[in-house]
Amino acid sequence: MKLMTHDTLGRVLVRGFCLLLLCSSVYSQEPPLVTNLENVEWGPAGGGNGFPVGVRTARLGVDATSGGVSYYARFPTGSHFDLHWHTHDEYVAVLRGEVTLVLGDTSHLLVPGSYIVIPGKMNHSWDVPTGEDAIILVRRGGPADFNFVEQ
């Protein structure tokens, strides 16, 4: 039988506490939601002024404590999202298509199943290569703001 060291036990307890805190926060802030990507009711196409032309979104909910919104976003093939940053962290999962994400000075090719954490105030931009529209799932750590960077 292998015994845990004090350091290992401490890390296990901290992780367990954080998971419990996260889960209790999620369940206490929002009602249950079950949705299917195939049945999403997309908002009207928008964009321009730095935003990808033709982008469509579908809001899923807002965290009552942080004001962070969760939503799907659909970017048309060939679209571009200008360099920008947000005050709060952004959590993104790619569901369909491919996205080239530039975080700071590093470019990443993202495919379905990719998960990204974009820290608050970090410059980033998106490109959707030709092929199919890209669909992402976004959750924000606080109210959404878009601060475009002059180039």
Both tokens of residue 91? 């959590």
- pLDDT tens per residue, range 39-83: 999 999 999 999 999 999 999 999 999 999 999 999 999 999 999
H or E element, residue 95: strand 90-96
Q: Which residue has the tokens 């299917």?
A: 36
Q: Which fold has domain 43-148?
A: Jelly Rolls (2.60.120)
Contact 77, 128 (CB under 8 A): yes
Q: Sign of dihedral through CA atoms 90, 92, 97, 99?
A: positive
Instruction: Report residue 4 CA to chain centroid gap.
Output: 36
Q: Compute the mean pLDDT over every residue in the chain, rounded to the nearest whole number.
A: 85
Predicted confidence band at 30 (pLDDT cuts at 50, 70, 90)?
low
Question: For the residues 7-22, what does the mean pLDDT come to?
Answer: 41
pLDDT score recorded for residue 130: 84
Question: For the residues 15-31, what does the mean pLDDT come to?
Answer: 47
Predicted structure pTM score: 0.78
**Residues 112, 148: Cα–Cα separation, whole Å:** 26
Contact 103, 43 (CB under 8 A): no
- What residue ranges do the domains of the chain occupy? 1-33, 43-148
